[in-house]
A and B are shown apart, each in its own frame.
Chain A
Amino acid sequence: MLRMKARSLELSPPAWTILPRNLLALVVILAIAIMMHAWVRPAVGNYYNRVMMDVGINIVLAVSLTIVNGFTGQFSIGHAGFMTLGGYVAAATTYYGSQLLWSKAAFFGGTLSSNTAESVFSAGLLGGGDLLFVAGCVLGGCIAAGAGYVVGLPSLRLRGDYLAIVTLGFGEIIRVLLQASGPQVTRTADIAAKNPFELTTALGGALGFTRVPIYTTQFWTILFGGVTLLVAYRLKQSSMGRALLSIREDEVAAEAMGVKTTRMKVLAFVIAAFFAGMGGGLYAHQLGQINAGELGFMKSFDFVIMVVLGGMGSISGATLAAIVLTVLPELLRGVAEYRMIVYALLLIVMMLVRPQGLFGVREAWELIRPLTRRMFGSGAKA
């Protein structure tokens, strides 16, 4: 073992120093999110505001699914299951949490979580409710990640279509179990009287979990979407991400080159499920309710379609596909009953005309790079 270390790479580890450069991206995302919320939201009106939030949530889901389906090449079609799970957990956290803390399930957030505030700077940016909301989303993400771990385990034994079917089955099981949960407790006194553990099974059953305070705004969707993109991007640019990609390309060779394929596959599922759970939290707090019945496998297919349409493993492709596929049905609203038919036909035609997706396996900037290199010489190193 000693000899192995001597042969390992030279490292320069100033242990756990977070360079300011690493935080810059986060600051930029935060700034964009605040600016969009402060100035673009009031300018565009409610309808466009909603569409933009939808886009943000779908980016979270599509990009996280890219990590499993696109990077690692594992075929998951149960992504909506994680979304549902995270959404319920987040919704229950804010609803019951608000009831317990402030004796009613209402909005206790700051202006960043308000879709109605005239000016963002008219009051406090964040309130106690926001903390609860974010905690709920993170908790939802963690629970979903736990489920992702469980779903990832079969990927060690199963490949391709069989794995796909298992993920689909898991998604359906999550849905049915949530739909079979007990009725939502709505009286504050009852909630206070109950054991908190009992509340975890009081998730509304077939009616769904309702009366969730609305916190999701453009600020949050951009922030979460941005973080998802950042994580996916950094993953792809790193050794770990390349290890995931190698599994997609050739599992046997990856294993032979020292990639812990089993661990990496489960890891991909866990990361993806975490963000899907967070996305579910955003979704629940945008609508003010969440119903597992509406988030079946057809919803999962939506995300798979985004990943494939964007090009397998292309973050920019998945993002663009998420935008296009969210906006497209909105544009088709004018033809009401033909909307989904046109959508379906476009999907079929797209698969016939451009089977590799928008960007293929590459990123948008990788397609541009050869051009810039030709223009400015080959000075830049990869």
Chain B
Amino acid sequence: MSALLTVDNIGISFGGLKAVQAFAVEMRAGDLRGLIGPNGAGKTTVFNLLTGVYQPNQGIISLGGRRLNGLAPHQITAAGMSRTFQNIRLFGDLSVLDNVRIACHLRTRSGLSATITRAGGQIGEERAITERAMELLAIFGLGDRVDEQARNLPYGDQRRLEIARALATFPKVLLLDEPAAGMNPQEKRALRELIRDIRRKFELTILLIEHDMGVVMDICERITVLDYGQIIAEGTPAEIQKNPAVIEAYLGTADAPGVRKE
């Protein structure tokens, strides 16, 4: 079987700063890959490139044979790639349920006239959306908090709600940006199980940015390491742990540059 997501040699620069250079990755259906690197290495920028928030200066991104370059973020989501955000971006004033239901919107068909007249199966569609959202929330253990405002959820719940929301778009590829950030050890353990679980249940291909090495080494099959916008290593967790370039990037050497640009 050929690759589902192919990223070939993409790069972007802001002003003179080359934020990401020659980034390439190939993921087959069902892969779970980690993307790690020190702060400011360009990991989130890669996500922004993949999801269309930024347009790459060069290179090709394709999903299931379809080229994604030049598409708007919502088109990429519709094509089957969804994401979470490092700095949680929930719809804070809206209810937990609505947060997930919004992500179902792109799979709906009712237009304005159907919405206003409630005709053409609009009611059934609403019901289907709600059921779907409730199911997802139940999986994420948020089933009893559906009416709460998203901003009032505890931090860990907000992170999980973001994943649930991303899943509601029916993605083939899921990009998780530091899902474990701010979680306690117990929550992190549960999160690992959850990611394995949803991967199986929804037949997902997952690309994961994470700082917590415990999580990354445990669940990822392959890992890509980024530093200064460039790939410095690629391999299985065991290989990465032994790779001298990775160790140097993380620990630094005596003459390592002290200041990194964000």
Interface residues of A (CB under 8 A from B): 3-4, 7-19, 21-22, 230-231, 234-235, 237-243, 245-246, 248-250, 252-262, 267, 271, 361, 370, 381-382
**Interchain CB contact under 8 A, A250 and B89:** yes
Assess whether A242 is in contact with B121, with CB atoms less than 8 Å apart. no
Measured CB to CB, the closest approach of chain A to B115, in angstroms, equals 5
- The reply to whether B120 and A15 form a contact with Cβ atoms under 8 Å apart is yes
Does B78 lie within 8 Å of A4, measured CB to CB? yes
B124 part of interface (Cβ distance < 8 Å): yes
A382 to B137, CA, bound (A): 14
Which of A7, A22, A361 meets B118, CB within 8 Å?
A: A22
Residue on A nearest B129 in the bound complex, by CB:
A239
Residues of chain B at interface, number, CB under 8 A = 56
B236 is an interface residue with CB less than 8 A from chain A? no
Apart from A235-B115, A241-B115: 9 A-B pairs, beta carbons within 8 A = A9-B104, A11-B121, A15-B121, A19-B118, A239-B102, A239-B104, A253-B91, A257-B106, A262-B72
- Bound-state CA distance A119–B158 (Å) is 61
- C-beta contact mask, B67-88 vs A, less than 8 Å → 1, else 0? 0000011100111101101000
Find the residue from B79, B102, B115, B119 having the highest chain A CB count within 10 A: B102
A257 near B126: Cβ-Cβ < 8 Å: no
- Residues of chain A lying within 8 A (CB to CB) of residue B80: 4, 7
- Whether B102 and A240, one on each chain, are in contact in the complex, defined by CB atoms closer than 8 angstroms, is no
Q: What are the 4 closest A-B residue pairs judged by CB atoms, nearest first?
A: A258-B106, A13-B121, A249-B91, A258-B77
Contacts of A10 in B (CB 8 A): 128
- Find the B residue at minimum CB distance from A25: B118
Which one of A17, A21, A22, A361 lies within 8 Å of B93 (CB-CB)? A361
- How far, in angstroms, from A22 to B116 measured CA to CA in the complex? 9
State which of A12, A19, A249, A257 has its C-beta within 8 Å of the C-beta of B169: A257
The residue in chain B whose Cβ has the minimal distance to the Cβ of A250 is: B89
A254 CB contacts on chain B under 8 angstroms? 91, 102
Interface assignment of B9: CB less than 8 Å from any CB of chain A: no
Majority-rule SS of A interface residues: helix
State how many angstroms separate the Cβ of B49 from the closest Cβ of chain A.
Answer: 13
Known: A4-B80, A22-B119, A258-B105. A9 touches B112 (CB 8 A): no
Q: Enumerate chain B residues within 8 angstroms of A16, measured Cβ to Cβ.
A: 119-120
A186 to chain B, nearest CB (A): 39
Among residues of A, the one whose C-beta sits closest to the C-beta of B84 is: A256
Q: Roughly how many angstroms separate A267 CA and B113 CA in the complex, as a whole number?
A: 12
Is B94 touching A246 in the complex (CB atoms < 8 A)?
Answer: yes
Give B144's nearest chain A residue, CB to CB. Answer: A378
On whether A256 and B83 interact (CB within 8 A), knowing A239-B105, A240-B112, the answer reads yes
| B107 contacts A by Cβ under 8 Å | yes
Could you list some 10 contacts between A and B, CB below 8 A? A9-B125, A235-B116, A238-B122, A239-B108, A255-B74, A257-B74, A257-B165, A258-B105, A370-B147, A382-B130
CA distance A228 to B79 in the complex (A): 36
Tell me whether A259 and B119 are in contact in the complex, defined as CB-CB below 8 angstroms, given that A11-B124, A245-B94 are known contacts. Answer: no
- Closest Cβ of chain B: how far from A378's Cβ, in Å? 9
